[in-house]
Amino acid sequence: MKHFLALRDYHKDELTHILNLAFTLKRELKQNIAHPKLAGKTLAMIFEKSSTRTRVSFETGIFQLGGVGLFLSSNDLQMGRGEPIRDTAAVLSRYVDGIMIRTFAHSTVEELARHSSVPVINGLSDLLHPCQAMADVMTMLEHSDKPLEEIKLAYVGDGNNVANSLIYGAASLGYSISIASPKGYEVADHVAQQASTIARSTGAPIHYTHDPAEAIRGADFVYTDVWASMGQEDQQQERLRAFEGFTVTEKLMQLGTPNCKFLHCLPAYRDKEVSAEVCDGPRSIIYDQAENRLHAQKAIMVHLMA
C-alpha cells in the first residue's frame, strides 16, 4: 500500500501515470462521462487548518468518483482533545478507504500514515503541498506546447511548503526550476539536498538565487505565494520588510518568454506578492490552476484507492 505524502516518494513514471489519469478524468468530466471508479468508497478528510480549495476539491472529487467524503475538523475528532494520532489512524482505517489530512506539522502526516492501514494523502502540511504541485504541473502542461522537460518555472517568494513541493516535482519529473527568495527565507537545506540527489536521475536543473529578475529571466511560468502563510500572521510586518522587491510585476514578467504565464496557489494578496495588473491580467492562469486541484486529486485518489 502506498501513501501520497511527498513527490520525492514517487518515480517519474508513477507521477506521469497520475498526471495522464488526471487529464483523462478531466476530459471525461467535460464530456459528461460518468467515472464512478471509487463507488462505495469513503474518504475521511481531516482539517486542522481551514481551507477553501482543498476541502471543496476533495469533497467534490470523491463524490464525482462515486464515493463519499467525511469532513472532520479538529473539533470533530478526539485527536483535537489529545487522542494519540496512532489511535486515530488505527480506528479510521477500520471505517474508511482513505484518509486526507490538512495540518500543520509534517510529522503528524507521517505518523498518521505510519499507523494507517489505508492510503493517506497529504492535503497540506507546513513542509509540503504535493497535491498543489501536481495541479501546477498539470496546468503548465496545458498552457505550454513544450514537453515538460523543456519547461522553465520561476518561483519568487518564501521558501515554503509550495516551493518545496515544486522543487521535488522538478527533481522527479525533470522540468527546470529557479527559486528566488530573500536572505533568511530560503528553501531548507535538507529539501535542497534531497532534491539534488533525486535530480541526478532526471537531469532537472534546479537553481537558487536572491534575485527575482535572475530567476524569471527566460521562464515560461512565474509562480508566487503569500509571504506569510497560515500560522505566520504574527510575522506579517517583518516579512513585508524582508520581501521588499519580490512583488511579481509586469516589468518582471517581461523578463520571461514572450508567452510567460503567471501562477499562484491562492489566496492571493494583490499588490503584495503580486501586482493586481499581473494577477488579474492576460498572463494569469490562476483559476485554471485552481480548477486542476480537482482533477489532479481525483487521479491521486483513484491511483491509491481504486
Binding-site residue set: 51-54, 78, 102, 129-132, 161, 225, 229-230, 265-266, 293
Q: Is 71 exposed, middle or buried (0-12, 13-18, 19+ CB in 10 A)?
A: middle
The kind and range of the H/E element at 122 are strand 120-124
Distance CA 266, CA 52 (A): 10
Cα 3 from Cα 122, distance rounded (Å): 8
Q: Sign of the C-alpha dihedral, residues 266, 50, 163, 145?
A: negative
Burial class of residue 228 (count of CB atoms within 10 Å of its CB; 0-12, 13-18, 19+): buried
Give the annotated binding-site residues for carbamoyl phosphate.
Answer: 51-54, 78, 102, 129-132, 265-266, 293
What positions carry a catalytic annotation? 102, 129, 132, 225, 265, 293
The count of residues in the chain is 306
